[in-house]
Structure 1
Amino acid sequence: MTRRQFSREFKIEAVKLVTDRGVSVAQASRDLDVAESVLRRWMRELTAAPAAAFPGHGQLRADLAEIAALKKSTGSGRSVTFSRSPSSAWVSRIRLRSNPSSAAWMSASVSFSSSRTSSSKFSSSFERVAQGRRRSRRRVRPRERRTPFGSRRAGGRAGRSRPHGVRNPRPSRWRPAPRRRRRSGVVGLEARRARGRGPARHRPRRGPAVRSRGRGSAELVGSLFLQVANAVFFGSLLFGYAFLWTVAPNWPPPAYLEPETLAVALAAGGVIVAPIAVRFAQSRLRSGAMPYLGLALAAAALAALVAAGLLVLRGLPDPQAHAYAATVWVLAGYTMFHAVLAGTMTIFVMARAASGFLSVRRSGELRVVRFWTNYAALVTLLALAAVWLPGLLT
């Protein structure tokens, strides 16, 4: 997992958005998808030393500085044309790096034309010498609207049907995925989605609601359907436990499991603290702060649930001796598994937040963690109540 990198120009523009345009820090952090504490740190660094702020970002290399100096010396009335051969560009790069102070060799490969051109063409020709030929960005023509059967266009002219008959809502901004991405498997696609696209730049609200931007994200919907099947399995365990009470031949067992004070305290604390801590972390993230405290409390509460399950297993007799011990062993293992799973998700979200991939509009992972934490607390409460109540009543 890599940290997000910001250029010096982006940091300066983000600070100017607050200082010059009067935008609040909270609003700027939401729009730029940057934590509020990080934005305030940028403001302090730029206010303390504007010239020396953000070292190592936005500085020209020696070859680009030499090119800029040559551009000023030639004047703005002439355009510069360079050789487009990749080999000559590579040789130019090597010579600039080896001896950036001398620019006499560059005059041999530069031919000045008498036509006046814009400064954008002038700068791009110099960049082509230092960095080689650049690949032009291909502009994709937007698809036209079609009928449901794909037989006619929007203007009414007859045309051949194509496999894509749905019009894109924003054809000028959206582009079709490359072929190599369409050919990749489900595992590679999911790994790319989990890795993220990095920081949202100057257009944070443009584009579809992909990944974790909406309330109905793919992670949350998938977890919902998985928990429905999981709850059915847990219900079957409780039904089997009650079924043994009614029809088992060697029931009741020789002795029921009596609750320990430490196990009850750990289970009660974990069941109460874990959902509240995750909800507190979610509220902190909505306000623009990082949810480290709430996630740490939730991880500690889930660890307490695991400890309570271990104490239950320690007090059980041999699971092969009686069906009661085997059933209680399965119920305790079920609760411990879900507590460990929710704790692993909590630690993963903490790492995502530390790397800068969690913000106000990127809270899908935190909603999934809250969903699994609530389920782990609920099944722990039901399972331990079913295990300890017979010992308390008898």
Structure 2
Amino acid sequence: MTSSTKIYLLLHFFSSIWGQQCPYSSQYQEQGTCGCTRDVKLIRSNLPSCSVPYEDFPSARNVYGNAPRVDQSFPTWINYELFQRGQQFARNNFWSVGLAAALGRAANMNTPDIRDVIMFTQVMSSSPIVCARILSSFAAKNMVWFQDIQGGPPRDDSDFLQTVNRIRWIHIKVARDIDAKRRKDAYNPEIVDESTFDNVTINDAVWDAFQKDLIASPIPEVERRLPPHFEERNTSTPYFNQQSLSLFLFNAFAYPILAGGNFGIVGSDLWAFNHLSAVIGYSLGIDDAYNLALQPNFKELKEYYSKIFKGYIVPGFFHLDKRSKVTLENIMKGTQINIPGWTLQLYLYRLLTVVMRVPGYNLRKLFTIEDTFQDAAWNGVTLPNLLNSKNYRDATNNNSIQDYLRVGERYYGANYTNQWGRARYSFYTPIRND
């Protein structure tokens, strides 16, 4: 037996072990030694291929995003123990994980293929009260995904998968509506009616301050340029493509991994949290090739996420257009219905200082007295206590869940008060599957 054959057999042996069970010591939790493989010869049902290299990620935009899935099924490569630890990590940091996703929403609404779908539906971009209902729906999904413990192959009535399946069905329905409009309009790639945003008055003072702070920041020039073809669109570009779904999930789950301490997140089980997001991505229709959470180890995961952040997310904010501004302002108006302290200027200031880690001097000049108080409380009380006090963190998590339940019941009635109802009926456009 040659030495190369011995090496191959050894790799094959360990890949089989890693595909079945991760080493669970704290050392391996951070290294993430059982994420995926880049060697096609080692791919197994329980060891998926890694996502494409960063340089090939643009190709995801041309691939249909609602990939077929068997209802009520997880990927064959799910590791249930790792998955449960990811859920536990999310529950331990519930409020902070929610904050990270809320700030990531700005990037989603600035991603053309996501934003234009939102504007096509004419809900989140035009009606604050509808936005408030949808934001409450988002909170319900997090509660189900983090709290419906999956210890083995899913039950027929899995709340987790009932939620995911309904989201997929909504995506598929909207994608069909978009295709119908394109056919009707002789395959015009534009799906947003200009009248829905062109005459809308926006808060120019706040947006100008945001842009001034960005321009004055130390962000290098290379991170200010949009990636090739990111804004361009033609009739061969499907909506709900693999790139838009991947970026949506990135903005919902990546920031705790990139900079968890900035949000008050504690704990070393980020690799498990990442596995949770990888499973959610698969279930929503993201192919393994474009599932950004599928990386060989934790170090390479952070490197890949950093490239996406610097190559797609940061440049996008240097090129905000009116569509994104109108949509984000409407979302913030919807947010303020239940959280009055979240002003547009404070939200964008958090985006700069917490997510992008650059000063926001011009935005700060627009602070109200309440904004100043909120910022002082964040820096002096909330953040340090989240990082250093388990009791404070637990109380904050519990209070936020109680707030979600109170608000959600107002919009969705008794269905919101239990996990079964939240999984099935906390949708602005409910899809039944009893």
The answer to whether the superposition gives a TM-score over 0.5 is: no
Output the TM-score relative to the length of structure 2: 0.22
Output the TM-score relative to the length of structure 1: 0.24
Structure ID, larger Rg: 1
Q: Which has the higher contact order (CA 8 A, sep 6+)?
A: 2
